[in-house]
Amino acid sequence: MCGNSMSAPLPAIVPAARKATAAVIFLHGLGDTGHGWAEGFAGIRIPHVKYICPHAPTMPVSLNMRMSMPSWFDIYGLNPDANEDEAGIKRASENIKALIDQEVKNGIPSHRILLGGFSQGGALSLYTALTTQQKLAGVVALSCWLPLRKSFPQASASCPNKDMHILQCHGDADPVVPFMFGGQTAEKMKSLVNPANITFKSYRGLHHSACPEEMVDVKRFIEKQLPAIGDE
């Protein structure tokens, strides 16, 4: 599932309260695991939606003096001009696409799967949604950026997600991934997908984390993009 799959345990899962007809795959940030986000989604869950929160493999991270920690890919810096781990980002993205394929095999069509993530996980979710051949329900991108942005629009030329809906959220006091970087990412995304379908929300005083108001916005977005089958 991840970089070297041996080092990553099975995802944390919040099962649907009834038959799962949709899924959210949500990717945690650097140094974290899927458990905290699974707990967060359990608190706002929608009955027909299954939540899958995979764990990144452990690897040395250049940004943190090569200390080993859960990470989807290596990070050299968190500013628009930093070098990027192109091979690692692409490898991680392929593993997320494989996770989507697995859910399709489990009976949930890809257009009923919403991809999301926080920070490094949000970055990977945006990149994956723009480069996959799987039509997705949308993306929730929290406190993040678009990796390898100079590879676009060529990298997304044949992507079926040009009309997908994206909710991008960012705290205006974020000291880790600067708020300005989030705003630049939203503008870049508007050049790659239908700009009318991109929502960028800011949260006053929020640092590099989530808040209850943001999680309510996330729940509303998921409800809209993944309605119960009878409501469609």
- Catalytic residues, which ones? 119, 174, 208
CA proximity to 143, closest of 115, 116, 165: 116
Distances, alpha carbon 59 to alpha carbons 3, 74, 77, 170, in Å: 9, 8, 16, 26
183 φ/ψ angles, rounded to the nearest 5 degrees: -65, -40
- The total of other beta-carbon atoms located within 10 Å of residue 73's CB is 25
Question: Which amino acid would we find at residue 110?
Answer: S
Structure tokens at 21: 């007809």
Cα gap 205→193, rounded to integer Å: 29
Cα gap 170→148, rounded to integer Å: 20
Quick check: helix, strand or coil at residue 4?
Answer: coil
